[in-house]
Amino acid sequence: MNKISRRLAEFDNIKRIDLDGNNYWMLSELSPLLGYSTKDIKYAYRKAVLNCRLNENDINEHFYKLTRIIDTDTTSIRKKDYMLTRYACALLLNNCDGRKDGVTLGKVYFANNPGKQDIDRAVAQYDETFKRLLIRNEIRQWNRRLAAAARKAGVTKRDQHAVFQNAGYLGLYRMTAEDLRKKRMLENGAVIPEYMSSMELGINLFRITQTVELLKQSPISETADAMDIHYKVGKEIRACLKRIGGVMPEDYPIAAVKASQLEREQLAITRHNNLFKVTDYDTEADGNYWEDQIS
């Protein structure tokens, strides 16, 4: 792959897809590729919104506003961001400085008509996003049942619960949760399932559901017994994967965007679309709203 192809691929790498199958790009991720900071691109963004209106297109269909929550080691930061459709990105680029290499490449990328390969990739990405969020929500519910079953089995203290959870990871991954975070270069305390693919999430869902059932069925007298059951379930699933030639859980690639962020974006899109289905915002006040929103 030559340099230009690699640069064009960067626009593809930050492309996302909502649950209706539509592509969108985050302004905070697009700006650096164009050679701008989010602050410096403000003028071009406002011009793009104005052009959208002048072209008699509904700006609410192409420019979405949302708040992203960025986790750090010590706190969570709320940051304003904007979701742009392909059409919105093309308008943005028309108002950027054409002398910048990133802008030239961006115009090439967003001007191209999607071919069969692009459509196939979009379908695969849509399927993965949908499955990933669906299974992640299932895991959240089953983790509550797992915690309840573990409490009945005597795992009542926080430090005991941490050891109990690690037992499952040790069986399935042959490493602790902390070791897995280090291997995947995740931040300390990061919630590992947030970065799992749908396939890896499915494997862990099976581990959790089977552990819950065995904890309910087994006569447990000590906390160590609960931990042993969790470890053995993980170990057996790993052995099964190895026998059938499956990918080992630790070898799955991590997702670039964590599930909770994708969830917030999908919710923002849904709320946005529902809002403008019932409310006419195409007024002079609406124009002021879009002018002010990026300041």
Q: Across all residues in the chain, what is the average pLDDT? A: 83
Residue 125 pLDDT: 59
Q: What is the pLDDT of residues 238-265, one digit of tens each?
A: 999 999 999 999 999 988 788 888 887 7
pLDDT exceeds cutoff 70 at 158? yes
The pair of three-digit structure tokens given for residue 206, joined into one six-digit string: 């099976």
Q: Higher pLDDT residue, 2 or 29? A: 29
d(CA 22, CA 16): 8
Residue 131 pLDDT: 86
d(CA 205, CA 112): 40
pLDDT exceeds cutoff 60 at 295? no
Q: What is the mean pLDDT of residues 197-210?
A: 95
273 falls in which pLDDT band (50, 70, 90)? low
Number of other CB atoms surrounding residue 267 within 10 Å: 11
Number of other CB atoms surrounding residue 194 within 10 Å: 20
**Largest pairwise CA distance in the chain:** 73
Residue 114 pLDDT: 53
Q: What is the mean pLDDT of residues 140-158?
A: 92
State percent of the chain over pLDDT 70.
Answer: 83
d(CA 71, CA 159): 24
78 falls in which pLDDT band (50, 70, 90)? confident
Residue 113 pLDDT: 58
Q: Higher pLDDT residue, 271 or 18? A: 18
pLDDT exceeds cutoff 80 at 159? yes
212 falls in which pLDDT band (50, 70, 90)? very high
Residue 31 pLDDT: 94
281 falls in which pLDDT band (50, 70, 90)? very low
Q: What is the mean pLDDT of residues 210-217?
A: 93
Pairing of strands 23-26, 76-84: antiparallel
The pair of three-digit structure tokens given for residue 258, joined into one six-digit string: 């964590």
Q: What is the pLDDT of residues 167-176, one digit of tens each?
A: 999 999 999 9
Cα-trace Rg, the chain: 23
Could you tell me the pTM of the whole model?
A: 0.60
State percent of the chain over pLDDT 90.
Answer: 44
Residue 287 pLDDT: 35
